[in-house]
Amino acid sequence: MAWKKVNKIVKKECSSSKQDAPKKSNRRSKCVVEDTCKFCKETSLREDDQMVICEHCEDFICISSVFLIPYTIMLFLAGLPMFFMELALGQYVGLGPNMLFQNMAPLFSGLGIGMPIVSFYCCVYFGVIMAWSIYYTFSSFTAELPWGSCDNDFNTPECATVEDVRMCEENSTYYYDHSCLSLEKICGLEGYDTYNDTLCYDANTTTTLTPGEAVHRMSSSEDFYKNGVLGALDPLPCVVLTVILGFGLTLDGATEGIQFYFLQPNVTKLLEIEVWTDASTQIFYSLGVAFGSLITLSSYNKFNTNCMRDALVVATCNCLTSVYAGFALFSVLGALAHELDVPVSEVVTSGSGLAFIAASAVLNMPPPQLWSILFFVMFITIGLSSQFAMVETVNTALYDQWPALRRHKLAVSLAVCSLMFALGSPMCLQGGVYIFELFNLYSTGVSVLVLAFVEVILVHYIYGHRKILQHIQDEMGIHIPLLLRGYWHITWLLLTPASVLLILALSLVFWVPAYWGDYLLPQVAQILGWLICLSSVVWLPLMALVVVCKQEYTGMALVRPTELMCPAAERRRREK
């Protein structure tokens, strides 16, 4: 509802521009991670999980808990099997994705290049979300929260608080649009020209300074996290969500919000293809499957760590956290709908900024400044963990491909993060949110599904699922109960590849171009988006062609594992 009001204002200012939306590795001598589970937990709990799948919230607001049905089904059909598979592979070989797939089947070397590229793109726009969080955190150090009143420079005459009049416009929406996004000064991409200096500095902080300092002080981001700098804040998300839920339950209308969320599902939405494609995409994004980060982080693990336990715990907690966060969010939305005397479904619509607009929940929590700070510090800590994992994925790929770079970790990290900052800077321009949505939609959508499908076919049909189970049980010493063994067999061989292929096909057939609100990005932007998507997938045929032309491997050797497809200790002996 609030989004619709903003869109109307932008329409008035620029109606003419609107369109209808429709080699030898020394990794273990440097750092050994005791437990992958801790890393994967932080990687999976991204900002969008805390707001219960905000990226697809247009459907979610309409169908409430119904979204959790395909979400859970796709978790067990594809998410969990691939999550465990990647943890086991990385832990067994002790290499990043680029060298892992190069040694598993030389013809598929491009798979190990595409994954770090996806993580790289994700870091580019993820830094902007971090910048928004930092911006909100520092904005909370005021006598009155900026989104709690209409007496700010960014407000327009149409702004009104709930206390003033019961209108459909929330000031928190105005604060997000006019302070973070600067939407009032642009008319789509045509008016995209001026920097938001504050956000530019914040994005620089999250993408360049933080990873650089981590490498400088601790040699790697894993050490930085392992030493407890961020680990001490692990319970913060659950604490903040619990407080918001507890407070929300005391408000009038909270029960209506929870009933809408959990007890009044619109089951007819399950017949819509988009709900299933959204759920599948969210599972892959949430768990980090096919991003390369799981393989990278587990490659630092001890050889006999029980990664199956980690996979089961993390995947389950990830899903339960989404459900729990939904109760917290909808208790507040229900109270807000009660104050405005409107249905819960009209309180807020979709968008990447829902988590920031939902910050209005803390306005009535004394003292609001404290809870606002904790609320956004929660996002920062979760975001930093995800950012560290993805940056390390890119760095590890470079180190494994060119081992000499390990002697220059600080320089490599600063170079990588500086490049991320440079590419993310246009998103700090007025109207940069359109570029943000372009990256958000095209860099981690179809490309991730393509990489995931090729990965599962390579690992279980070409390399062999029995070899994987042999590595896990006989060599790594992980006991797999009979029931779970049957589950891994049927999902790896049938259900996972079939579901991923189906969702990929449906995503392409029912593709919706990138847009923000009512503004459909122009054709040139959509073409740019597809180029971003193809830039990670094109390495599959490109590297296959390179390997064939080099004639280093011929015949069946192209799809057979090399002698270096073995545990790290054995590989070091063979390399000597």
Residues 6 or more apart whose Cβ sits within 8 Å of residue 519:
7, 10, 17, 18, 19, 21, 188, 434
CA distance 90 to 298: 5
For the residues 374-389, what does the mean pLDDT come to?
84
pLDDT at position 40 over 90: no
Number of C-beta neighbours around residue 562 at 10 A: 13
Q: Which two tokens stand for residue 554?
A: 């011929």
- pLDDT of the residue at 54: 38
Nearest to 515 by CA among 420, 422, 442, 426: 442
Helix/strand/coil for 520: strand
For the residues 400-423, what does the mean pLDDT come to?
92
- pLDDT of the residue at 294: 93
Please state the pTM of the whole predicted model: 0.79
- pLDDT of the residue at 575: 66
What's the CA angle centered on 47, arms 91 and 179, to 5 degrees? 145
Look at the block and give the residue holding tokens 């609107």: 18
pLDDT at position 440 over 90: no
- pLDDT of the residue at 196: 55
Nearest to 292 by CA among 392, 361, 382, 373: 392
Amino acid at 256: E
pLDDT at position 16 over 60: no
Which secondary structure element, helix H or strand E, spans residue 515, and what is its range?
Answer: strand 515-516
- pLDDT of the residue at 178: 57
What's the CA angle centered on 440, arms 230 and 343, to 5 degrees? 90
Binding residues for Na(+): 286, 318, 386
Nearest to 385 by CA among 444, 445, 314: 314
pLDDT at position 232 over 70: no
Look at the block and give the residue holding tokens 């990687």: 43
Task: Considering only residues 448 and 322, tell me which one the structure prediction assigns the higher pLDDT.
Answer: 448
User: What percent of the chain clears pLDDT 90, i.e. is strictly above it?
Assistant: 34
pLDDT one-digit tens code per residue, 75-107: 999 999 999 999 999 999 999 999 999 999 999
What's the CA angle centered on 541, arms 419 and 565, to 5 degrees? 85
pLDDT band at residue 146, thresholds of 50, 70 and 90? Answer: confident
pLDDT at position 66 over 50: yes
CA distance 576 to 567: 15
CA distance 384 to 221: 10
Binding residues: 286, 318, 386
- pLDDT of the residue at 154: 66
Cβ atoms of 468 and 143 closer than 8 Å: no
pLDDT at position 507 over 50: yes
Nearest to 99 by CA among 46, 89, 555, 134: 89
- pLDDT of the residue at 64: 53
pLDDT at position 532 over 60: yes
pLDDT one-digit tens code per residue, 553-564: 888 999 999 988
Cβ atoms of 54 and 48 closer than 8 Å: yes
For the residues 462-486, what does the mean pLDDT come to?
94
For the residues 229-236, what does the mean pLDDT come to?
60
- pLDDT of the residue at 218: 37
Q: Which two tokens stand for residue 428?
A: 């700090």
Helix/strand/coil for 521: coil
Structural domains of the chain in order of their starting residue, each with its CATH number: 2-575 (1.10.4160)
Nearest-10 crossing angle of helices 36-44, 273-287: 140
Cβ atoms of 278 and 56 closer than 8 Å: yes
Based on the number of CB atoms within 10 Å of its own CB, is 572 exposed (0-12), middle (13-18) or buried (19 or more)? Answer: middle
Which secondary structure element, helix H or strand E, spans residue 540, and what is its range?
Answer: helix 539-550
Helix/strand/coil for 127: helix
Cβ atoms of 288 and 42 closer than 8 Å: no
